[in-house]
């Protein structure tokens, strides 16, 4: 079977663009969780350079998907709460951006691409410009929040995963071989 390379490349480029337009911090969380759920356990289980027994590798591998589920749940819940609060403050006019305020007074401050995308309609262009700033702001604040909740995520994960691992590995404790 032969793949039509230009069509495939265009499909891949369009897919990546859609994926990246969904929000930087959310996308980062999804990619990180996917890696922890799939790649990390495989690497741990099939590492040819380790001298650990199979049960110890299973024990270590189980933590990755458990932590991924906890992380994605806690981060998405906290980001949703944060973004709702930011949107509320924006609607009330308590969060404004200098560039957007200047653009409302002077259309020459609006980037040309935004003006062209809005058919040179100043009101639509200012609205789009404001939305872009709001999304960038939420993404940056979301990145800070994700970093701040990392320790609580690990604490919850460290409480839950041993219980799951004991059921799956049938082992009372993780013992290393020497």
Dump pLDDT digits (tens) for 118-157.
888 888 888 888 888 888 888 888 888 888 888 888 888 8
Structure confidence at residue 24 (pLDDT): 63
- Model pLDDT, residue 140: 86
Global pTM reads: 0.62
Q: Per-residue pLDDT tens for 58-69?
A: 888 888 888 888
| CA distances for 162 relative to 42, 53, 108, 127, angstroms | 19, 18, 60, 50
* pLDDT for the residue 175: 52
**Mean pLDDT for the chain?**
80
CB contact at 8 A, 150 and 51: no
Q: CA-CA distance, 163 to 110, in Å (whole number)?
A: 56
Question: Tokens 């993404």 sit at which residue?
Answer: 139
């Amino acid at each position: 079977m032969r793949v039509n390379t230009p069509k495939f490349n265009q499909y891949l480029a369009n897919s990546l663009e859609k994926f990246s337009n969904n929000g930087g911090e959310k996308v980062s969380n999804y990619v990180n969780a996917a890696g922890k759920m799939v790649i990390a356990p495989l690497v741990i289980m099939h590492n040819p350079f380790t001298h650990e027994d199979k049960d110890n590798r299973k024990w270590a591998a189980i933590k990755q998907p458990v932590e991924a589920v906890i992380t994605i749940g806690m981060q998405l819940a906290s980001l949703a709460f944060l973004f709702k609060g930011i949107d509320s403050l924006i609607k009330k006019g308590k969060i404004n951006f200098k560039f957007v305020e200047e653009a409302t007074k002077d259309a020459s401050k609006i980037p040309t691409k935004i003006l062209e995308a809005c058919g040179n309609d100043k009101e639509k262009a200012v609205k789009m410009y404001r939305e872009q700033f709001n999304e960038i702001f939420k993404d940056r604040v979301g990145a800070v929040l994700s970093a701040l909740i990392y320790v609580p995520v690990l604490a919850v994960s460290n409480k839950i995963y041993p219980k799951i691992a004991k059921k799956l590995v049938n082992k009372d404790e993780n013992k290393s071989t020497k």
